Structure 1
Amino acid sequence: MEAVKRQGTALRLTVFVGESDQWRHKPVFTEIVHRAHAAGLAGATVLRGVEGFGASNRVHTTRLLSLSEDLPVAVIIVDEQDKIREFLPQLDELITEGLVILDPVEVIRYLGRPPSAP
């Protein structure tokens, strides 16, 4: 049996912050993920960059000779447009410096396969 496949449109929220950005002694990216979960969003993924620069115009990198403690981090959340837009005010409280991007996306979701018969 094949996996069930659903297709449709959604909104992708990508939040770029620094790895060392804090909110109440916790990483901002962690707080974003926990709030997204509490808001019932479909899911969140945190990706750690190996190199990048932002508003400070300072390059952050993982290269051995120039170790950085503030690498770029991207939090990616995809869900229905209304749910993402309802979540945006949460970011106003958490982000003091960063970038938020909203992209309309086409989603193909695979819902798993039923267990195979013995």
Structure 2
Amino acid sequence: MKRESTAILLRIFIGESDKYKGKSLYMHIVEMLKAEGIAGATVFRGITGFGKNSYIHTTSILRLSMDMPILIEVVDTEENLARIRPKLDDVMCQGLITEEKVKIVFYDCNIQK
């Protein structure tokens, strides 16, 4: 069975070496999102990227970087994401957050028609 709805896609761009209270920032954010009851989050580690300082971070053996780009994607309702934004403000000291409205097509074979 499938259901369709609209939601907000929140993307958080940070660096792999970013920390919060001695812990990886991306792990802190994911654990905070889970504790807040957010529908789900996925963390991606980029293989190459650059930010506002224009320094290219890459996995190339010639320029091995320990600060690879990290992207956290979160999809949930506008209300739920509005609730967690102040908590993100408290832990982010650099990075970028984007939001966009998305259409969700949710498939679940365990739901009876």
Which TM-score applies when normalising by structure 2? 0.95
SS where residue 109 of structure 2 aligns?
coil
SS where residue 77 of structure 1 aligns?
strand
Unaligned ranges ≥5, structure 1:
none
SS where residue 83 of structure 1 aligns?
helix
Alignment of 1:1-118 (within 5 A): 4-113=1-110
Deviation at 1:112, TM superposition (A): 2.8
Structure 1 stretches (4+) deviating beyond 4 angstroms? Answer: none
d(CA) in 1 for partners of 2:61 and 2:2?
A: 44
d(CA) in 1 for partners of 2:74 and 2:47?
A: 20
Which TM-score applies when normalising by structure 1? 0.91
SS where residue 42 of structure 2 aligns?
strand
Deviation at 1:55, TM superposition (A): 1.6
Q: Percent identity?
A: 38
Q: Highest Rg: 1 or 2?
A: 1
Deviation at 1:57, TM superposition (A): 1.1
Unaligned ranges ≥5, structure 2:
none
Question: For residues 3-60 of structure 1, what are the alpha-carbon distances to aligned partners after superposition, in whole Å with 9 as ceiling and x for unaligned?
Answer: x211000001100000000001111110110010011010000000000000221000
